[in-house]
Each structure stands twice: as structure tokens, then as C-alpha cells.
Structure 1
Amino acid sequence: MLALLASMGGFIFGYDTGQISDILLMEDFLLRFGTCTTPGVSSTCTFSVVREGLIVSLLSIGTLVGALAGAPTADKLGRRWAMTTECIVFIIGVIIQIASENVWQQFAFGRFISGLGVGSLSAAVPMYQAETAPAQIRGTLTATYQLFITFGILVAYAISIGTRYVPMSASWRIVVGIGILWALILGIGIQFMPESPRWLAAHDRMDEAKASLATVRGFSTAEAADHPIILREAEEIRTNVTDYMKNRGGWLDCFSPANKTLYRTILGMTLQSIQQLTGANYFFYYGATVFQSVGLQDSFVTQIILGAVNFFCTFGGMYIMEKFGRRTPLIVGGIWQSAWLFVFASAGTAGNPTQNQGIGKLMIVSACMFILGYAMTWAPGVWILIGETFPTRTRAKQASLSTAANWVWNFLLAFFTPFITKAIDYRYGYVFAACNLTGAVVVYLFLYESSDLTLEAVNMMYTDPDCKPWTSGRWAPPGFTSRQDLVEQARAAESSKPLASGALEEQRIEKRSHTDSDPEH
């Protein structure tokens, strides 16, 4: 439930992203908001480059503002109430959109308001999941946020293809209006979930924090009082929170070089920027238009295919990010994505896809292969890292800054893509290919391997002067001989089995000795 319900925030993000590509081609939408040379004839209606860019990209401007507002909201109200509030904002934006009659600016403004909610959720949800999930499954669980983004995109495509021939404005109003349902599911359902234990601890509610830790691990409230796993993690959180309360971080603290805080802020913003610059949203925002331009009769169907590849491959991404860590998949993914974008751009540049069916098919295949790699690596990987890279005292603000960087590039790509493709056509793919290679280099040189570590241990790793990004996969916190030893001890502790290393047994002996020395016992 922690994965599925909270990730509805990602579903809302994906649904809003996926719907606009098909809506721009719907007959009634063109007649209402386009410029028509012959009134009442949709085939003569078009959007100017500026109008199309604004309708698509104003969502991103809203999400940028929302992402920055997400940190103080999540810190003030708590992670759950913040998400509920953000769902209400999203619903207001949807109502403004479906109430639009003939003024395209109203529809675009509605997308801006919805974006405020989507942007805040994009900062709050991965942070909530990372703060609440056990370290052993944190990667997979946080990756469900990206899985639901892809699911939302696919559902938007499917609903759009089902409503495109519905008479009048229902063709696009149904697609937009259904978004209210997804927001209600998240806004109401999240109130039945446990609050982030780290947020509770930061607000001096340590008993509730222990109960939250126990709940998501399947332990009873009684076990929360003395189970070694709960006690160890609660103590880590308490120590970290004590420092947090003494030195509570403001926005300027995100740019302090101490404890590699500035390093991690820039790293998070860079990774989020590169995720956009991979070129994935070029296909998601303008996919129907792109595929129409390569001579396909039904671009809606091709969007469904692309969305399905994106969704189902993300399941593989969840496995890969948990099995192979964070660094290796992102490096390999960057190289893979770059290679297929070179194929896409070269094919489109070598010949006219509308006149050469073979070139058109090669471009579709290369687009699908690119999405396959993206869905398995950069798509889930970056959202996982945003949840687990930053220290507690500035985590919410650094997550907001990083997510804001994502939305800045989201807006720039959404708005300027029509201008760029008009100027350089499919050679645009070469730009994205270069950005993917750059991403692989950045990951190798600067990203630390954070898989299998608690959030407190991740912070310790980044501040260890002897640990380098390319050696970080072998780093382990004090008391463990290796990263593998840490994983095995955690598994043994959860099943109450002592290990050869004796760490768990020593902990129990120490506890018994303390009890025996107490006269009351």
C-alpha cells in the first residue's frame, strides 16, 4: 500500500503528461482553440508554434513553482497532509480546464494550476516513500513512483484513443476530467497510511515514529518497543534528528559546502536536469505529432505502443535498480539511450520518413528501444536517488530544488521543441544523444552508490573523506565488514537469525547484560 497508494502522485503526473499529446489532435479541441482558415472545418485548424508550446508547457511552469513550494508544505503539514492539500489544488486546475469554452488561455491557465499540485506531489511523494520504506526495498518501492508515471501516461493514451470520436467537447473533457478521480484516490487514501517516521521524530513524536517503522515492516506495536531492527533504526533517526533540531537547515544551507551539502544539491539538480535532457518527454509530449510526421496512419495507436513499452519496461527497471544498485544502471542506460537516439536522428536525417516506409519503421523501433532503456534506468533511478541522497536537515528543500530543476527543463523542452524541430527537424535527436553520454560521465564521476544503506548511512558515506564515487559500492558503515555483510545482517535480524559475524548476537547479549544488572529485573 505504501508503494501503490503514495505512487498515485506519480500516476497523476504521468496522466497529465500523456493526455496533452493526443488532445492537441482532437477535432473539437482544434475547432475551439486552434486557428481555422475555414470556420467549422477541423482539417483547416492549426495551433501556432507559440500557442501549442504554451498549452503544453504551462503545466511545467506550474510544476516548477509547486516543486519549490513542496518543501515548506511537506515540512509544515507533514508528508500526508501535504499530499492531500496538493491533490485539492490539482482538482481546482482540472475544473478550470474542463470549464474552458473557446479561450485557449483559460485551458492553459488550468494546466498551470494543476501543475502546482503535480509539482508539489513530485517533491513530496518520493521523499515520503524513501523516508518510510525499509532500506532493503527502498529502491524498488521508490521506483513505483516512476512506474506509476508510466502507467498514468499509458492510461491517458488509452482513454484518449477511446474518446477521440466522442461527439463535441466530451472527446477531450472526459480525458481531462477523469483526472479528478486519481486525485481523490490519493488525497483521501493517503490519510490511512503511516506518517513518515523521520518527520514524526523531527517533531518530537518518537513513539509514533517507532510505530510507523514497525507498521511498514509488518511488526506489531508491541514488537516496536524492543525489536532490534526497530531499535537500531530508531536510534539512528533519533541521533540524526537531534542534529537536525539543533541545526535546522534553511534554503541557504542547501548551498553550504559543509558535509558535501552543496555537492549533493548540485548533483541532485544535475541528475534531474539530465533526466529531462535524455529526450524522453520529446516523445511523450509530441509523440503523436512526431509519428504522424513519419507517415503513420494512426499516430494514436503508436502512442499506445510507446506507452506500453514505457510501462512494462519500468517493471524491469525496478528489478535492475534493486539488483545492480544505482550507478551501473545509469551509466549503461546513458550509453544505450545515446546509441538509439543516434539511430533515430540519423534515419530521419538520411531520408524522408513519409516517403520511405523503411525509414519510418526504423525510427519507431529506435524510439521504442530508447524508451526501453530509459524506463529501466534513468526513469526510476533518478527519483530513487532524490529520495535517498540528501541529509535529513535539508532533505525536503534539496528534493524541491532538484525536482524544480527537472521542471525547468521540462518547460524549456515542452515550449521550445516545436521551434527546434521546425529548424533542425530530426537532427534534434543528436542533441539528446550527447546529453545521455554526458549523463553517464556525470554518474561515474560524482554519484555515490546508496543502495542497501539507511538514509543515515548514506549521509555518513557522502561525508567520509576516504570514500570516492567510483569506490562507494564497497563502502559500509562502522560495524560491518562490507556492504554484503550489512545486507545479510539486516535479513538475519528481520528473521531473528544470528549470523556468523555475531553482530546481532552481541547486541542481544549486551541487552541481556544490561537487564541482568538492573535490580528491578
Structure 2
Amino acid sequence: MNLVKFPVSFKCRISWLDLVRMVNCLLCVKEPSLLFSAPVRFVGCLGSSYLCDTIGRRFTISFSAFFYIIGVIIEITSSTHWVQFAMGRFTAGLGIGALSTSVPMYQSESVPKNIRGAVVSSYQLLITLGIWTAYMINYGTHDAYSNSAQWRIPNGLSALWAIILGTAVLFMPESPRFAYRVGREDEARKNMALLNGVDPYSHLIDAEINEIEVKLAAEREGGDHPWYEIFTGPRMLYRTLLGMVLQAGQQLTGANFFFYYGTTIFKSGGISDSYVTSIILGSVNVVATIGGLWVVKNCGRRKALMVGAAEMFVCMLIYSFVGHFKIQGQVNAQAPGAVLICFTCIYIVGFATTWGPLVWAIVGELYPARYRASCMALATASNWLFNFLISFFTTFITNDIDYYYGLVFAGSLFALFWIVFFFVIETKDRSLEEIDTMYVLHVNPLTSATWSPKSLGAEGVNGVDTDKMFLTKGGKDIKKSEMAGRPMLEHDERMFPETAAGGSAAPENKPEIVNALSFNPYHYARWDEEEDESRMMDYMNICHVNTTTPHHTTPPKRKSQKKSRKQNRKHKNERQTKG
């Protein structure tokens, strides 16, 4: 670690390799010693969810950036009082924690789905660029100054990027999904058109707005949604825990171990200058993360995470065994040291192209709108928690098991490979609302890449109101609101305006049409095709929908849901005979 000493009047040893955090700029400073900063950022993450849902994503980013600036000012004006510096770190840490939640959320909700993964992953790219910039500034100030300017200049410069971010984001459009949720429909349509580069009333924007409207209407009909529904909502415990595991897993891959303690590895290979070590690792990290944007855009989430975990697993095994048997206790071990340096760089390439950027993208896509802020805050907080735990315990562990510490991370990578394999669905090129539907319908992660929402429409159903569903008291059952299906049919009305203008079916009869299906979307993925085909045919007979003259007749009375298979097949045969 590179530790810079304060003047004698300030009895405190701290380091100034601060991680620059930003969206499309640099932002903060991340130090090798996170014993104070990481827990504060953990708190900042948790508090950001309320701000994001209250004042919006854009204003939360701006507020958090300027909160960070206040913290930096407190730090660099401290001289003899370590308490003042600590309060500055506390204030800045709250801002960084909030930004680490609000920035990926804002990105994931705003950009078109075909580039969403790459744009959200650019968050990690600019983090790595910030790390590299901090390394270079530290290297320059270390040789140029011998007083407090060594740490005041790097720390003060980090506020410059926060000023740029906090100001520039105010000139950017608000998240269309947030704007629509708070009743600003025209602003949402305008912002979405601006971000997609199309006319506000184009078919693309109409489809996106309709999708958001259907989800929001269904959510409102479902009643109040208290905070604890992030654990009790439909498939929410699954997704909440998955997001936390992925964010914690980003730390448990062991990447920060190399960034924090890479000096020891490079010394064994003959490179003793810790600043040079940092610059080498930072440069590899930046270049590889640029390649990671191509990976997330073209290779998909699941494959990239699994390949990355496998590659890092092999590198960790080599690091552990070569280090333990060839370097530990040896006086001259430059050849094995060169091997460690080589595989450390290969490891960083694997991390920077997969787990580094992709976790931010996946977590930003994982949750429905009404839970997104709270769940992303909790997931990101778990990232900071494990960041702290690794930085705190590494020294104690390596003193006991030396290079075998790499086996701890290898075991984590082995587990993460199978967690992704069995639990993470492929979300490449899908809308946020479509991803929500896939999780609620228990789409198999192994075949999720080929799943298509067209399969729902092919069965006579225009959409699935996943927001209608919530766990009953005790969390053992699923129920829907009484008006389930209304948003689905209102979507039909937009598709067939002539029906709404003068069709034979009155709007108030539309929910009854869906009720005739006896349709429970929660069990949709487990339908028995033969058993339910008769109900689907009833639906088609009721609607008489065709491509030229959409027409709805008054629906018959709802049939009993307890018919046996034999009765269903009998009715089916009768219809075929009449036809």
C-alpha cells in the first residue's frame, strides 16, 4: 500500500488513492484503506433509495455530487485536527454511496434497450479511468512535493469531477420511467424520444409508453406496496438476494485484493516501486474494460459472467500454488514472480471484461419499477460491505495462509459460476418490463436466451400483468387484484381504436372477457396446453379478432374453473365437429 504521511502536526497516516466515481466523468477517490470510507458508503447506498423515489434520479445524482464536494472541502482544509478530516470522509462517503446507486439506476432506466448494457457498463469503465488518473496524479505529486500538497492536490482535484457531474446532470433529461410514475406523462414521452433520437409520437415511443403505462396501472390497482415487499413481492426475495449476491460476488472475485496488495506480488518479480505497480495494473484495467463494453453488447450477460468466472478461477489457482511453493520464503524468485505478474494481468483482463462492468448492468435490469430504488440500494450496499470486509481481513488472513489466500477467492469464483448458471436469466436486448415478466413467470435461466414474449400473444393473451401479483399474508400464496386484465384490454383498445370509437363491445365488459379465461399469469409458465386449449378457443370465439375488422361480442357468462379434462376435451371435439 502507498501510505502518505501527514505533517508531524497531524498525527494520522492515510493513503490518497481515491477511486474516482462518476457516470461519464471521474468522481471520487478510492483508497487502499477503506476501514472508514466503505461503511459510510454502505449507509449512503441505503439512504439513496428514498431520495431517488422522492426527488428523482437526476436530482439525486446532483445532490449527492455536491454533498461529496462539501466533504472534500472539509478534508483539504483540515490541518491539525484529525476529527475534521474524518468528518470530511464521512460526508464525502455518503455522497459516493448514493451515487453508486443512483447513477446506474438512471442509466438503466433512460437508455434504449439495445445499448443499455454497454451504457450502464460504461459506469465501470469511468471508474477504472478514475483509478488510473488518481494513480498518475499521486505519482506526480509524490515526487514534486514534500509537504501536505502531496495529499491536498489529489484530493482536491477529485472535487473538480464532482462539480462537472453535479452540474451537467441538471441539463440532462429525467428518467422517462420516473417521470411517468410521478404523473409527468408528456415529459416522459419527450425525454424518451430525445434519448432514442426519434419523434415523440413514433411507434417506438408509443410502444414503450404503453408498456410502462400497463405496468403502472396494474401496480396502482394492486394497492399499497410497503418497503418489505422487496422480500415478499412476486419473485422479489429471489431477485433481491440475487442482486446482493452478484454485487458481493464482484468483490469476492478478488479483484480489489490485487489492486490493494499488488505491490507484494510485483516485488517478487523485481518491481519494487509501488507507484509503477499501481500504474501498470490501472492501465491494464482501463484497456480491458473498454473491451468489456463490446462483450456486454455482443456476448450476452450469462455467457460472459460464466467465462469470466472460469478464467479468473484458473488464474487464482496458479497464483496460489506458484506463490506458495515457488515464492514464499525464497530470496531470489524472479522467474516465479514474473509468472505471478503475468497471470495477475490476465486475471484483471478477465475481471475488467466481465464481472467488473456486467454486474452493474444486470443489477440495473433485475427489478420492477416500484422496487428498483430500494433493491438497487441494498445490492450496492452489499458491494461496499464486502469491499470493507476484504480490505479489513486480508492482512490478518495473508499473515496466516500467505498465498493460499487466493484459494478463498477461487472457491468464491467456483460458486459464482454455478450461481450464474442456475439463477441469472439472459437479459440482452430486452426491455425492463419484459425482464420483470420473465422472472415472475419462472423462465428457465438455461433457456432464457431463446425465450420470446411472442409466445404469450400466440396463446391469445396480449401481455402478462406481473405487477398485479403480490404475496398474501404469510407469503405463501399469490393473488391478483379484482381488476386483473383491465390494462391488458386497454392496450387492445389502443391497438384497435375503431373498437373504442364505435365497436360493439362496451369498455365495461372487457374485464369479463379476460375473466372467461380464468387466467392466472403466475401459473402461466406451467400451463397444460391440452387442458387449457378450450379456454383459449373460448377467448378467440368471444373476441372474433382478425387483422382487418376487429370486433368484440358480448361475452357469455363465466364458465366454471373446475371442469375436468374429459369435459374440456368433449367441448373441444364438439366445436371441431361443428366447424
Using structure 1 for the length normalisation, give the TM-score.
0.81
Q: CA RMSD in A?
A: 2.6
Residues 327 and 444 of structure 1 are in contact (CA less than 8 Å); yes or no, is this contact kept in structure 2? Answer: yes
1:305-384 map, 5 Å = 305-350=280-325, 351-352=327-328, 355-384=332-361
Shift of 1:412: 0.7
1:463-483 residue CA offsets vs partner (Å, 9 max, x unmatched):
114x2111111111137999x
Query: Are positions 1:440 and 2:417 aligned together?
Result: yes
**Alpha-carbon separation, structure 2, partners of 1:251 and 1:101:** 43
Query: Are positions 1:411 and 2:388 aligned together?
Result: yes
Query: Are positions 1:457 and 2:434 aligned together?
Result: yes
Q: Which amino acid aligns with 1:425?
A: D
Shift of 1:243: 2.9
Query: Are positions 1:216 and 2:191 aligned together?
Result: no
Residues 80 and 191 of structure 1 are in contact (CA less than 8 Å); yes or no, is this contact kept in structure 2? Answer: yes
**Aligned equivalent of 1:271:** 246
1:55-94 map, 5 Å = 55-94=33-72
**Alpha-carbon separation, structure 2, partners of 1:242 and 1:254:** 19
Residues 198 and 237 of structure 1 are in contact (CA less than 8 Å); yes or no, is this contact kept in structure 2? Answer: yes
Query: Counterpart of 1:238 in 2: which secondary structure?
Result: helix
Larger radius of gyration: 2
Q: Which amino acid aligns with 2:388?
A: F
Residues 5 and 12 of structure 2 are in contact (CA less than 8 Å); yes or no, is this contact kept in structure 1? Answer: no
**Alpha-carbon separation, structure 2, partners of 1:80 and 1:129:** 10
**Aligned equivalent of 2:272:** 297
Q: Which amino acid aligns with 2:162?
A: A
**Compared CA separation, residues 357 and 294, structure 1 to 2 (3 A):** closer
1:226-237 map, 5 Å = 227-237=202-212
**Aligned equivalent of 1:195:** 174
**Alpha-carbon separation, structure 2, partners of 1:481 and 1:314:** 39
**Compared CA separation, residues 104 and 356, structure 1 to 2 (3 A):** farther
Query: Counterpart of 2:235 in 1: which secondary structure?
Result: helix
Shift of 1:386: 1.1
Query: Counterpart of 2:183 in 1: which secondary structure?
Result: coil
Using structure 2 for the length normalisation, give the TM-score.
0.73
Residues 71 and 91 of structure 2 are in contact (CA less than 8 Å); yes or no, is this contact kept in structure 1? Answer: yes
Query: Are positions 1:175 and 2:154 aligned together?
Result: yes
**Aligned equivalent of 1:252:** 228
**Alpha-carbon separation, structure 1, partners of 2:242 and 2:497:** 45
**Compared CA separation, residues 160 and 450, structure 1 to 2 (3 A):** same
**Alpha-carbon separation, structure 1, partners of 2:214 and 2:37:** 40
**Alpha-carbon separation, structure 1, partners of 2:242 and 2:311:** 22
Query: Counterpart of 2:425 in 1: which secondary structure?
Result: coil
**Alpha-carbon separation, structure 2, partners of 1:140 and 1:30:** 47
The more displaced of 236-245 and 281-290 is 281-290
**Alpha-carbon separation, structure 2, partners of 1:444 and 1:479:** 24
Shift of 1:284: 2.2
**Compared CA separation, residues 328 and 289, structure 1 to 2 (3 A):** same
- Number of residue pairs matched? 448
Residues 140 and 318 of structure 1 are in contact (CA less than 8 Å); yes or no, is this contact kept in structure 2? Answer: yes
Residues 265 and 340 of structure 2 are in contact (CA less than 8 Å); yes or no, is this contact kept in structure 1? Answer: no
Q: Which amino acid aligns with 1:112?
A: F
The more displaced of 230-239 and 473-482 is 473-482
1:282-322 residue CA offsets vs partner (Å, 9 max, x unmatched):
12233346545765221211211111111111111111111
Q: 2:184 aligns with which of 205, 209, 222?
A: 205
Percent identical among aligned pairs is 40
**Alpha-carbon separation, structure 2, partners of 1:80 and 1:415:** 34
Structure 1: gaps of 5 or more residues: 1-20, 36-52, 483-506
1:250-273 residue CA offsets vs partner (Å, 9 max, x unmatched):
3201001x4211100000001111
**Aligned equivalent of 2:556:** none
**Alpha-carbon separation, structure 2, partners of 1:130 and 1:366:** 33
**Aligned equivalent of 1:502:** none
Query: Counterpart of 2:315 in 1: which secondary structure?
Result: helix
**Alpha-carbon separation, structure 2, partners of 1:414 and 1:283:** 11
The more displaced of 300-309 and 93-102 is 93-102
- Where relative contact order (Cα < 8 A, 6+ residues apart) is larger, the structure is 1
Structure richer in helix, relative to its length: 1
Query: Are positions 1:240 and 2:219 aligned together?
Result: no
Residues 32 and 101 of structure 1 are in contact (CA less than 8 Å); yes or no, is this contact kept in structure 2? Answer: yes
**Alpha-carbon separation, structure 2, partners of 1:29 and 1:290:** 30
Residues 61 and 112 of structure 1 are in contact (CA less than 8 Å); yes or no, is this contact kept in structure 2? Answer: no
**Compared CA separation, residues 54 and 364, structure 1 to 2 (3 A):** closer
Residues 244 and 392 of structure 1 are in contact (CA less than 8 Å); yes or no, is this contact kept in structure 2? Answer: no
**Compared CA separation, residues 282 and 111, structure 1 to 2 (3 A):** farther
Shift of 1:512: 9.0
Shift of 1:54: 9.9
